Structure 1
């Protein structure tokens, strides 16, 4: 879960902001003639637990700081970053930086005037009002010697807004090819309907597990119907799908996570993204 903003008597709770796609950022960083993907018979997901495989994964260093606007006195805007760098892997480090910066921009009609966290910070100090606050977070959700899965989170409160804004994005990184993997890279050709069907079945099981919290299932299903999602991450147990608040459930349910076990995705995922049979 994304860390919440400090409590305040006058600030309303954060409400959702749709996750921002990062495929375009990945393509922008990719070099022409980049090495191709792995062979189909080489599994990128070993049949071991995350606690074991993360020891073989990319080394990370924290990028962590919290600042108020320079020279400000009294009530001041605040910017907090709790991110990661990947020493020896500048393209992944840059992608995380670019993606977090992009997640702060909410104007769909115009391009952001910055594309890095440093650029966003400079812009933010020029435009932020006294009670504005932004939190940007990156953490690894799964890693092994071939794959790195990073979760990116952004939370913003801007003075005068009725609600804050939040967003979450999962990034799957191929360590050898040095490129981001979109859901189209993960799925076998023509397998999107089968993936959505597997996700729908997991969604139904998830609702059954929370039956005690639902007063009327028919009303709940009308208000919070199933929705497909591209926000996916590979793990040692299956494909994780993460939703935004309000996307498939009330705000109080937070950011729901559904896990589709790999045994339900054979023939759906490309072979290299399935663990070997044991």
Structure 2
């Protein structure tokens, strides 16, 4: 191949690369967000303990498909039982809650970006239902949004096929480490009463795969909502290689 022809082909390739960068999103640039935060109390109520709904939610102007997903996840957190109907919208939930909630009740809903890396947007959703009792009811969840695939990643999307059992084995090992660092591994009663369990709350953070647990799941209420981190080194051949930080 002549030098002239090679140079011409290289120029074409560079031009095509430049065109692609114009039309494809830059996965190293974080998505911009817009925050919407407010607190509404029951109409007409003037006492200090009026029922209230407090909302703090993020929107993605450049990724509008994410907004209804976040809203649905927040609405799922408002249900007090698994068979309860899902409210039609956050506005509908607010109207119903404020019209029916007793004095002193409060509902808090939040979504936030936990982090963004390698074309992934990790969103954490949370809730807290205050009924005036000494302890309210908190809830948590994650959304792992793939900008390349334009979808929410499920656990099956994250794992190499056939590796789910291996994943949970690695998670159980990380749980034992969690017990040890908190001085609980040597407490046979705690270990017996609060065994390891699987959780649907999984996040592909940059520093490791995070497992989040609801209160009273693997630890008593006083320990809050535990987080267990599974290092990526334990997950070689388990997590799809393109989802490891830096490999995308």
Class of the TM-score when normalised by the shorter of the 2 chains: 0.7 to 0.9
CA-to-aligned-CA distance 1:100-125 (integer Å, 9 cap, x gap) = 1221012333423x232112112112
Give me the CA root mean square deviation: 2.1
SS of aligned partner of 2:126: strand
Higher-Rg member (1/2): 2
Question: How far apart are the structure 2 equivalents of 1:226 and 1:248?
Answer: 6
Shift of 1:163: 5.0
Equivalence for 2:222? 252
Does residue 155 (structure 1) correspond to residue 125 (structure 2)? The answer is no
* Large movers: runs of 4+ above 3 Å: none
Q: How does 1:148-227 map to 2 (within 5 A)?
A: 148-158=121-131, 164-211=136-183, 214=184, 217-227=187-197
Q: TM-score normalized by structure 1?
A: 0.74
* Count of paired positions: 221
Q: How does 1:26-41 map to 2 (within 5 A)?
A: none
Question: How far apart are the structure 1 equivalents of 2:245 and 2:200?
Answer: 21
1:83 aligned to 57, 74, 78, which one? 57
Q: TM-score normalized by structure 2?
A: 0.82
Does residue 106 (structure 1) correspond to residue 76 (structure 2)? The answer is no
Shift of 1:275: 3.0
For the 8 Å contact 1:173–1:180, the answer to whether it is kept is yes
Q: Against the structure 1 CA distance between its residues 56 and 276, is the aligned structure 2 distance closer, same or farther, given a 3 Å change threshold?
A: closer
For the 8 Å contact 1:145–1:175, the answer to whether it is kept is no
Equivalence for 1:94? 68
Question: How far apart are the structure 2 equivalents of 1:56 and 1:258?
Answer: 28
CA-to-aligned-CA distance 1:77-113 (integer Å, 9 cap, x gap) = 011111111112111011111211221012333423x
Question: How far apart are the structure 1 equivalents of 2:42 and 2:114?
Answer: 32
For the 8 Å contact 1:102–1:115, the answer to whether it is kept is no
Question: How far apart are the structure 2 equivalents of 1:249 and 1:110?
Answer: 26
Question: How far apart are the structure 2 equivalents of 1:190 and 1:155?
Answer: 36
1:228 aligned to 198, 212, 219, which one? 198
Question: How far apart are the structure 1 equivalents of 2:96 and 2:241?
Answer: 44
Question: How far apart are the structure 2 equivalents of 1:135 and 1:54?
Answer: 32
Equivalence for 1:133? 106
1:267 aligned to 215, 218, 237, which one? 237
Q: Relative contact order (alpha carbons < 8 A, sep ≥ 6): 1 or 2 greater?
A: 1
**Structure 2 gaps, min length 5:** 1-25
1:64 aligned to 8, 26, 37, which one? 37
SS of aligned partner of 1:90: coil
**Structure 1 gaps, min length 5:** 1-52
